[in-house]
């Protein structure tokens, strides 16, 4: 069977499973819609958290960045992994002890202020929309290639699927759907990686193949360095980013992870604080399977791609004999060839001789085709990419809908609304959010992982200081928290918008503040937030004693009841 037929079969089966789960686990109460009734098993929650956290950026784009940027791409690997550890060990148990449905709920009650709640609602919606744009774009990339439809139509198909099971099932439906999606995405990522590792390095363990020798007796990384030098690329194992920018991007991704509302909310779906810690450990194990494999997938694909495009003589391949994946991906617009010298050959290099334009977002999805694997393996990867993108998109849409229905309406403008009205409002908000996310997926501000990096920077600059100070500094007051969040997100968003939308031509290390790229500016935004919060808190009224006592109780997470709504 051809790739398209296999794709229809495997993607169709996985979608039927997701929709079936959404119908089976349909939410009937706000507790089920927001936190799945608080009764999810820690292992299941660990799988769901891993699927929620490993987005299209992790599955589709991270290995692509590492493949193209080499050493520099490692910042995404370090930042996202370190961020999850920070969240799981330092924040999740305390937030679970507090027992609120959402991050704005925590901030509103901890800082005894409706204004703080509204600022947090705005930040949650802004961060989540930025993040979900990357997921919808990832869905469009997969559909455009494997169903051979326009990328914009691919985004619209993804919107329809997410709309159905996120709006129907709420957190209850999403949780069990994400368990299934984790199984699909991890199987889909590891099977091609094992195949390619066997072909390139002769070992079924991609991690060993990455540091080992290829079939011609040369170490893989040494081979990539040699190929990179010959073709005018930066050596694969050396970086071009400054140490300052590497630190700031890594830190922004780390603290941004710890401030992401859709990941934090997962820890409210388990019965007890102890279960939050256990599920965090399980999630870390499940995440490690993909994250330790991604660098190997990137390196294998890079070596195979260079050799496939440039041929054995290093002079390029005749267009008529180009690898089949080139023609397949050209249809999506993510691969293009410009025959500069008119010799009818494709040539790929890192200097002015280069004739190929290749998006980093295709590398993982194209790696089985580049490695000439069976068609069913190629289609399996498509199903995995969709599982990764849709699982995170659903979690983000839930954050947007609960922020609007629970925090903005129920806790703000319409406190007398019934549970039925609140549930309806949450579903309507999710529907509107799907449409907005689809628009951003069709008109994205960058490639998938780059867009997601902006979301992490915004989360770092807005939520992280408010959460950390709220837990560990009992004298932090509402004035300090509000001023910090507003300053942090405004500064970070302005920097990103200027360099990515208003004046992208100026986005060079010479023009960046202190050499910090838009992807890393969230760290500076976080420091601004912290400084403003602490200074304003010192100059304004002291935190009420009952709030200080509440913070003391949060710091000792010894058991907690179900998430509550008062």
Q: Is the pLDDT of residue 5 over 80?
A: yes
Contact predicate 419/29, CB 8 Å = yes
Q: Give strand pairing partners of 159.
A: none
Question: First CA to last CA across the chain, in angstroms?
Answer: 57
- Tell me what pLDDT residue 166 has: 62
Which position has the token pair 């509440």?
550
CA 470 to CA 468: how far, in whole Å?
A: 5
CA 148 to CA 150: how far, in whole Å?
A: 7
CA 334 to CA 331: how far, in whole Å?
A: 8
- Band (pLDDT 50/70/90 cuts) for residue 289 is very high
- Render pLDDT for 98-142 as a digit per residue (tens, 0 to 9): 766 567 878 888 898 888 888 888 888 888 777 777 777 777 877
- Tell me what pLDDT residue 210 has: 92
Contact predicate 480/534, CB 8 Å = yes
**Strands, E assignment, 274-377:** 317-318, 335-337, 345-346, 356-358
- Tell me what pLDDT residue 409 has: 79
Which position has the token pair 């334009």?
357
- Render pLDDT for 155-165 as a digit per residue (tens, 0 to 9): 888 788 777 76
Q: In percent, how much of the chain has pLDDT > 70? A: 90
Give the CATH fold of the 3-301+373-554 domain: Sodium/glucose cotransporter (1.20.1730)
- Tell me what pLDDT residue 481 has: 94
- Tell me what pLDDT residue 557 has: 46
- Band (pLDDT 50/70/90 cuts) for residue 565 is very low
- Tell me what pLDDT residue 243 has: 86
Q: Is the pLDDT of residue 322 over 90?
A: no
Q: In percent, how much of the chain has pLDDT > 90? A: 17
Q: Is the pLDDT of residue 560 over 80?
A: no
- Tell me what pLDDT residue 566 has: 44
- Choose between 449 and 108: higher pLDDT: 108
3-state secondary structure of 476: coil
- Band (pLDDT 50/70/90 cuts) for residue 461 is very high
Which position has the token pair 């919107």?
159
The dihedral over CA atoms of 274, 278, 280, 283, expressed in degrees to the nearest 10, equals: -160
Within 8 A by CB and 6+ apart from 182, the residues are: 47, 48, 50, 51, 54, 286, 387, 391
Mean pLDDT of the chain: 82
Q: Is the pLDDT of residue 34 over 60?
A: no
Question: Of the ranges 275-279, 481-485, 490-494, 515-519, which one carries the lowest mean pLDDT score?
Answer: 275-279
Per-position DSSP letters for 166-235, written without gaps between them: HHHHHHHHHHHHHHHHHHHHHHHHHHHHHHHHHHHHS-S-HHHHHHSB-TTSSBHHHHHHHHHHHHTPPP
Averaged pLDDT, 264-281:
75
Which tokens belong to 236?
Answer: 């694969």
Question: Of the ranges 75-79, 170-174, 235-239, which one carries the lowest mean pLDDT score?
Answer: 170-174
- Render pLDDT for 522-547 as a digit per residue (tens, 0 to 9): 999 999 999 999 999 999 989 898 88
Cα→Cα distances 476→93, 107, 465, Å: 20, 12, 11
Question: Of the ranges 36-50, 194-208, 317-331, which one carries the lowest mean pLDDT score?
Answer: 36-50
- Tell me what pLDDT residue 181 has: 83
SS (H, E, C) 350-371: CCCCCCEEECHHHHHHHHHHHC
**Which secondary structure element, helix H or strand E, spans residue 300, and what is its range?**
helix 294-310
Q: Is the pLDDT of residue 495 over 90?
A: yes
């Amino acid at each position: 069977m051809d790739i398209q037929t296999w794709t229809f079969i495997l993607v169709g089966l996985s979608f039927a499973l997701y929709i079936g789960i959404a119908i089976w686990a349909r939410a009937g109460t706000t507790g089920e819609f927001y936190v799945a009734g608080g009764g999810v098993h820690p292992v299941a929650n660990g799988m769901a958290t891993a699927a929620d956290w490993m987005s299209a950026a992790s599955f589709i784009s991270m290995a692509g960045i590492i493949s193209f940027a080499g050493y520099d791409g490692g910042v995404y690997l370090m930042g996202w992994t370190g961020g999850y550890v920070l969240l799981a060990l330092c924040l999740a148990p305390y937030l679970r002890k507090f027992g609120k449905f959402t991050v704005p709920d925590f901030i509103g009650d901890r800082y005894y202020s409706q204004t703080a709640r509204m600022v947090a609602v705005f930040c949650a919606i802004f961060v989540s929309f930025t993040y979900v744009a990357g997921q919808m774009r990832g869905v469009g990339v997969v559909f455009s290639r494997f169903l051979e439809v326009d990328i914009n139509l691919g985004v619209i198909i993804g919107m329809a699927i997410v709309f159905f099971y996120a709006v129907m099932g709420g957190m209850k439906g999403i949780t069990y759907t994400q368990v299934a999606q984790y199984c699909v995405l991890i199987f889909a990522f590891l099977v091609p990686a094992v195949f390619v590792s066997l072909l390139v390095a002769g070992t079924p363990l991609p991690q060993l193949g990455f540091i080992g020798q290829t079939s011609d007796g040369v170490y893989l990384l040494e081979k990539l360095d040699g190929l990179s030098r010959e073709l005018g690329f930066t050596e694969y194992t050396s970086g071009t980013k400054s140490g300052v920018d590497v630190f700031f991007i890594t830190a922004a991704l780390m603290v941004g992870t710890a401030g992401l509302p859709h990941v934090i909310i997962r820890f409210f779906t388990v019965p007890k604080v102890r279960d939050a810690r256990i599920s965090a450990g399980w999630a870390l194990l499940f995440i490690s399977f993909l994250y330790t494999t991604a660098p190997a997938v990137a390196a294998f694909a890079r070596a195979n791609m260079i050799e496939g495009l440039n041929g054995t003589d290093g002079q390029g391949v005749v267009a008529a004999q180009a690898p089949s994946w080139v023609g397949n991906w050209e249809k999506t617009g993510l691969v293009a060839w410009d025959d500069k010298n008119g010799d009818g050959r494709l040539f790929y290099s890192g200097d002015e001789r280069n004739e190929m334009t290749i998006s980093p977002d295709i590398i993982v999805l194209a790696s089985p085709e580049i490695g000439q694997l069976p068609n069913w393996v190629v289609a399996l990867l498509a199903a995995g990419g969709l599982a990764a993108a849709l699982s995170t998109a659903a979690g983000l849409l839930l954050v947007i809908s609960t922020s609007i229905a629970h925090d903005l309406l129920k806790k703000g403008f319409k406190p007398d609304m019934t549970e039925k009205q609140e549930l309806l409002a949450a579903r309507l908000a999710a529907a509107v959010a799907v449409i907005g996310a689809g628009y951003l997926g069709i008109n994205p501000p960058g490639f998938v992982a780059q867009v997601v990096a902006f979301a992490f920077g915004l989360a770092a600059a807005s939520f992280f200081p408010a959460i950390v100070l709220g837990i560990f500094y009992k004298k932090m007051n509402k004035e300090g928290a509000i001023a910090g969040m507003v300053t942090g997100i405004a500064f970070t968003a302005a920097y990103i918008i200027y360099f990515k939308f208003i004046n992208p031509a100026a986005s060079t290390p010479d023009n960046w503040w202190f050499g910090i790229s838009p992807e890393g500016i969230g760290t500076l935004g976080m420091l601004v937030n912290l400084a403003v919060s602490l200074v304003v808190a010192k100059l304004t009224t002291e935190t009420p004693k009952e709030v200080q006592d509440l913070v003391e109780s949060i710091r000792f997470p010894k058991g907690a009841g179900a998430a509550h709504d008062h």
